[in-house]
Structure 1
Amino acid sequence: MTYETVAAADPAVAEALEGERTRQNETLAMIASENHASEAVMEAQSSELTNKYAEGYPGERYYAGCEYADEVENLAIERAKELWGAEHVNVQPHSGSQANMGVYLAMLEPGDKILSLDLTHGGHLSHGHPANFAGQTYEVEQYEVDAETGYVDYEGLADIAEEFDPDIIVSGYSAYPREVDFERVQEVADDTDAYHLADIAHITGLVAAGVHESPVGVADFVTGSTHKTIRAGRGGIIMCDEEHADAIDNAVFPGAQGGPLMHNIAGKAVGFGEALSEEFDAYAEQTVTNAKALAETFTEHGLEVVSGGTDNHLVLVDLRPSHPDTPGKDVESALEEAGIVMNANTVPGETRSAFNPSGIRIGTPGVTTRGFTESTCREVADLITRVIDDPNDEQTVAEVAARVDELTDEYPLYD
């Protein structure tokens, strides 16, 4: 993919696009929610479908000329059903957050009650943070992770649910390194006559490949992102039983959105097709193996890994025990300068601001797409630890950056 046509029409944008391509090629993407889509997915997302309005659903559009849009959306739906075993799939949400919005609009009234994990403990904005539409529209109570173990406190969740009497309980998280016990959350939902929404935005690909337990068939609703561990077109997805199909579809369109982004749905279709392969299953398994290698190496270096390890694609490090005077933002900035892009993150029992928290979150989807294995990830953990130990030392940062350059040359992304 080249930007020659863009350069002729708009040199400033072309320069920015070339800069982003270079940045991705020459740095390690270790933000847990990021990945690198295939060239086939990116080509589909830049197709002529970007020009097509297709309000409605396949066979029931509000505009003419949708025969190929229908074909692409049906492919995305059928492949999603095969990947996750869902009865009904809506592939139109523009993001994981809007997928959650679709479920809320379908099943809740303003002022109804949501029970979800606290943001500082690994939850997500769209699960009910006061600054988000969910927190502004619904009454929200939150459960927590046990600060000592780093695991979700399911007993505490049950106690809060009994007292709060929620209308919907949200499981699935954005900064939780352990496998989610969806069955346990469903028991609580059953006991309190609540719906259960499992948000698998981060682990969509891991669930598809069978390296994480699936909430499909357990929870009432399953939402997810389609561009993280699944590596498909950017956007969201909702899965449910046929019982709720009409309510969900009506909530997405016309409830929350107008015309679907058909070019992104084309990217979803291509990415879902790629994920049906044995190669993808091996990729997902390697993603988890690589995260475990990171966690083990950090522990060997004396860093505090939240929950003592990981079951999925991310590692959460609490800097306070080993580096009490080093906030996460300092590490994030130094690592970015060294070519390792990750993010500062809150940790259970957070004592700093969410804008400058005490932890860092490191993910392996992007580097695994490059071809990294356990040994490579152990070396990356060594490099990250060097920067954590002295984020203000220019020589250390420069030496780490030089090694990152060698690694990105050895494991290139795109030609």
Structure 2
Amino acid sequence: MPVTAEAASAAPHALFAQELGLLRRQDPELAEVIGGELRRQSDSLQLIAAENFTSPAVLAALGSPLANKYAEGYPSARHHGGCEQADAAERIAVARATALFGAEHANVQPHSGSSAVLAAYAALLRPGDTVLALGLAYGGHLTHGSPANFSGRWFDFVGYGVDPETGLIDYARVRALARAHRPKAIVCGSISYPRHIDYAEFRDIADEVGAYLIADAAHPIGLVAGGAAPSPVPYADLVCATTHKVLRGPRGGMILCGEEYAERVDRAVFPFTQAGAQMNAIAAKAVAFGEAAAPAFAVYAHRVVDNARVLAGALEAEGLRIITDGTDTHLITADPAPLGLDGRAARGRLAAAGMVMDTCGLPYGDRRGIRLGTAAVTTQGMRQADMAQIAGLFGAALRDDGREASGIRAQVRELTGRFPPFAAHS
């Protein structure tokens, strides 16, 4: 629920007052940068779909003495001494992850989602193998075959797309491509696909052609944790994910799998693709997994989806074209062309008014739209009525030629002032 304006303006800064005070004495230049970022997060709308606000407990783990510990290897098999507490932290994180997602095995060491995908490929594939994945033009990630990325350089990627009319994955086309190319692995997952993925259908296609199934669940995994999205764990051989985004943990990655692939995954993470584990991040992941197992997180995850659906409908009423005509998740992909703008111009106008989001490619056309999400604003405590207000500010900013930006910005500050980013955690 909203808090008073006085409490709102003081809450985030009071929460970090001790840390910022220490930093100002030691390094005032960096203290100013971090204080500026705190102000930016506090007085603008954070609508980037891949971002969220961690809890103070997660931040405390990130800033803990575990940041000092070198812990190459795995619990009870480290290359450095003094790892008793590091082992305990990692065991807690693994146990919580496997319980939360119903997986037989979890590797919580990947430094990022991309690191997790790299390790997954290393566990199952060899250079030159054929991989079928969502094409980059339709929402595939860089690790799904971009020529600028290791994936596109080391493997032979074949891209599947979406239906040009509905924007939905064409599973019949996926099956036809799998039959034609006989890939070693099929990847399902996206950075901008707003609908649930049919993991059972992908499993059936993979089984038909003898392919591994890798789910890149970086975006929906937090919804999975809260029971607001279907789980890929029963269907995929490996599930790669991030621990930030909707899951609300620290920036990092993880891999979930069955015992059949556990040793291969662990060796692919260490020593093949990474060395020392970031033990402070692993401890912070453990905190986030514990928070996500609480009943309140399920309420939060469903509220994220409800907010996204309301926001998508309200943005459509403001004149934007909503890709796939809605969303099942926290993600919304929109085309501002009906308002005479492309994605980059729209992002610039919105940023000037204090609304932060990304651009993204749009299917079937060399144009860019905008991608936004409701995870962070929902963490702040915003509800469906606030989504309607955000859509109104959106429409006003996109129609503005610059003369009204300051007035819209003031309205954004009024809204964010009632929902300080860390108040809901405190």
Report the TM-score, using the length of structure 2 for normalisation: 0.94
Task: Determine the C-alpha separation between the residues in 1 that align with 2:39 and 2:320.
Answer: 32
RMSD after superposition: 1.0
In structure 1, the residue matched to 2:88 is 71
In structure 2, the residue matched to 1:349 is 364
In structure 2, the residue matched to 1:380 is 390
Q: Give the drift of 1:105.
A: 0.5
Matches within 5 A, 1:121-132: 121-132=138-149
Matches within 5 A, 1:14-413: 14-320=31-337, 322-323=338-339, 325-352=340-367, 357=368, 359-390=369-400, 392-395=401-404, 397-413=405-421
In structure 1, the residue matched to 2:29 is 12
Partner SS, residue 246 of structure 2: coil
Partner SS, residue 394 of structure 1: coil
Identity, % of aligned pairs? Answer: 44
Structure 1 residue ranges (4+ consecutive) displaced by more than 3 angstroms after TM superposition: none
Q: Give the drift of 1:298.
A: 1.6
Q: Please give the per-residue CA displacement for 1:36-58, whole angstroms capped at 9, x wherever unaligned.
A: 00111011001111110000001
Contact 1:116 1:170 in 2 (8 A): yes
Task: Determine the C-alpha separation between the residues in 1 that align with 2:117 and 2:297.
Answer: 26
Deviates more, 1:139-148 or 1:342-351: 342-351
Task: Determine the C-alpha separation between the residues in 1 that align with 2:356 and 2:138.
Answer: 22
Contact 1:35 1:228 in 2 (8 A): yes
Task: Determine the C-alpha separation between the residues in 2 that align with 1:329 and 1:45.
Answer: 34
Q: Which amino acid aligns with 1:23?
A: R
Q: Give the drift of 1:128.
A: 1.3
- Unpaired segments of 5 or more residues in structure 1? none
Contact 1:343 1:361 in 2 (8 A): yes
Task: Determine the C-alpha separation between the residues in 1 that align with 2:124 and 2:224.
Answer: 25
Task: Determine the C-alpha separation between the residues in 2 that align with 1:61 and 1:350.
Answer: 51
Q: Which amino acid aligns with 2:345?
A: D
Partner SS, residue 245 of structure 2: coil
Task: Determine the C-alpha separation between the residues in 2 that align with 1:147 and 1:374.
Answer: 30
Q: Please give the per-residue CA displacement for 1:329-378, whole angstroms capped at 9, x wherever unaligned.
A: 111111111111011111111323xxxx2x11110000000001111011
Task: Determine the C-alpha separation between the residues in 1 that align with 2:218 and 2:186.
Answer: 16
Contact 2:347 2:358 in 1 (8 A): yes
Task: Determine the C-alpha separation between the residues in 2 that align with 1:5 and 1:376.
Answer: 36
Q: Give the drift of 1:308.
A: 0.5
Contact 2:134 2:161 in 1 (8 A): yes
Task: Determine the C-alpha separation between the residues in 2 that align with 1:50 and 1:16.
Answer: 21
Contact 2:131 2:184 in 1 (8 A): yes
Contact 1:197 1:223 in 2 (8 A): yes
Contact 2:53 2:422 in 1 (8 A): no
Q: Which amino acid aligns with 1:369?
A: T
Contact 2:380 2:422 in 1 (8 A): no
Q: Which amino acid aligns with 1:387?
A: A
Task: Determine the C-alpha separation between the residues in 2 that align with 1:412 and 1:311.
Answer: 27
Q: Which amino acid aligns with 2:359?
A: A
Q: Give the drift of 1:141.
A: 0.6
Q: Please give the per-residue CA displacement for 1:156-215, whole angstroms capped at 9, x wherever unaligned.
A: 111111111111100011100101111111111011100000011011110111111001
Contact 1:99 1:224 in 2 (8 A): yes
Partner SS, residue 316 of structure 1: strand
Q: Give the drift of 1:414.
A: 3.5
Q: Give the drift of 1:86.
A: 0.3
Task: Determine the C-alpha separation between the residues in 2 that align with 1:114 and 1:239.
Answer: 20
Task: Determine the C-alpha separation between the residues in 2 that align with 1:198 and 1:273.
Answer: 23
Matched pairs, number:
406
Contact 2:318 2:391 in 1 (8 A): no
Contact 1:234 1:267 in 2 (8 A): no
Contact 1:95 1:236 in 2 (8 A): yes
- Unpaired segments of 5 or more residues in structure 2? 1-15
Task: Determine the C-alpha separation between the residues in 1 that align with 2:186 and 2:327.
Answer: 24
Q: Which amino acid aligns with 2:418?
A: E
Task: Determine the C-alpha separation between the residues in 2 that align with 1:62 and 1:351.
Answer: 50
Report the TM-score, using the length of structure 1 for normalisation: 0.96
Task: Determine the C-alpha separation between the residues in 2 that align with 1:83 and 1:306.
Answer: 31
